[in-house]
């Protein structure tokens, strides 16, 4: 089973278990696209793992960078949320686009 299937299944379960009209939120690190974001991406890709190594957690921070690199785009996460049954899905980039907040609503039954 692929990663995107697991993500969709997670949103399906949230859609099933949250009351009708309730909101499902997803806050994730994203790959920002702006000019400022290029600096932030450099910082995240190069400096954060270095700090992790100095702190004795090099493997964990290297994994974090790899996982963010492979994480779906905000547009794709919104599509997956809609595919899972959520409605009125929208997303907002935060902190210069390095974090994204997705919000979807569980439809009435």
11-67 tens-digit pLDDT: 999 999 999 999 999 998 877 777 776 777 777 777 778 887 887 777 777 777 777
Strand 87-94, strand 23-29: pairing = unpaired
Taking the model in full, what pTM does it have? 0.78
Q: Write the CATH number for 36.
A: 3.40.50.150
Question: Could you give the CA distance from residue 50 to residue 27 in angstroms, rounded to a whole number?
Answer: 25
In the predicted model, what is the mean pLDDT of residues 68-83?
89
Q: How far is CA 6 from CA 12, 25, 32, 104, in A?
A: 10, 17, 24, 18
Overall domain count for the chain: 1
Strand 99-105, strand 87-94: pairing = antiparallel
Which domain covers residue 72, as residue numbers?
3-105
């Amino acid at each position: 089973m692929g990663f995107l299937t697991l993500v969709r299944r997670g949103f399906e379960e949230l859609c099933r278990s949250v009351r009708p009209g309730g909101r499902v939120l997803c806050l994730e690190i994203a790959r920002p696209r702006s000019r400022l974001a290029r600096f932030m991406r450099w910082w995240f890709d190069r400096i954060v793992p270095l700090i992790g190594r100095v702190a004795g957690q090099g493997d964990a921070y290297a994994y974090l960078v790899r996982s963010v690199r492979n994480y779906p785009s905000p547009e794709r996460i919104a599509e997956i949320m809609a595919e899972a049954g959520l409605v009125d899905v929208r997303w907002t980039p935060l902190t210069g686009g390095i974090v994204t907040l997705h919000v979807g609503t569980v439809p009435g039954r």
